[in-house]
Amino acid sequence: MHPRQAPARVALVTGGSGGIGRAVVERLARDGIAVAVHYAGNKARADETVAAVTEAGGRAVAVGGDVADERAMSEAFDAVEREFGGIDVVVNTAGIMLLSPIATLDLDDLDRMHRTNIRGTFVVSQQAARRLRPGGALVNFSTSVTRLRFPSYGAYAASKAAVEGMTLVLARELRGRDITVNAVAPGPTATPLFLDGKDQAAIDGLAKAAPLERLGTPEDIAETVAFLAGPARWINGQVLFTNGGVA
């Protein structure tokens, strides 16, 4: 398919069909950015997100694939370029969080997080490094747990510390390309991924931890992403801890 009138700016959001990813998609679309909504397995939810953007007057398309599969991601990037003519912003929200004390962690869970959080981020970052147009932005996702050091988050924090490392190196490797590379590190945020398995007392305690005395929202995180994706051209090679002051 040849692109119709090409939009001024195009974004691909991995994990864009739910939670923080969907908030990012909708926020970028409000800035006039055409958005590719990536999904791993739930096409119906991605289609719902595309429909919501379209109904609000934006442009969006759904693209699928395993973020850790380099061929699938190459095809996803190809599909976005065919639809919209190029890619300016890549936001990597796709990730999984499996919690356990390190001493008792099922190593299969460690491997699952490594595949999605580390290899998946690396594969998508590699494609972004090859394809982003000048003036582009790559936004990866870490976590404030790399500072908060909550018990049972050891393997997850390790996977996200790896994301921070690759992000900061890539920012320097893209010297001269006019492409920014940053990571966003949310704190406790009211998403199903974070709230699952926590009782109300635990949720209330986490909400009080930040000086602003509430949990973050997906929209809070999306606002930071929109800043990095658009006007924040002098922020590069950084990890932004978007957590209300909890860490």
**Catalytic-role residue among 77, 122, 153, 156:** 156
**Alpha-carbon span 40 to 69, nearest angstrom:** 11
* Nearest-angstrom CA–CA distance, 134 and 132: 7
Q: Is 156 a catalytic residue?
A: yes
Q: Using an 8 Å Cβ cutoff, are 70 and 125 in contact?
A: no
Distances (CA, A) of 134 to 28, 128, 234: 18, 12, 14
Residues in the chain: 247
Cα–Cα dist 29/141, whole Å:
19
User: Would you please indicate which residues are annotated as catalytic (active-site) residues?
Assistant: 156
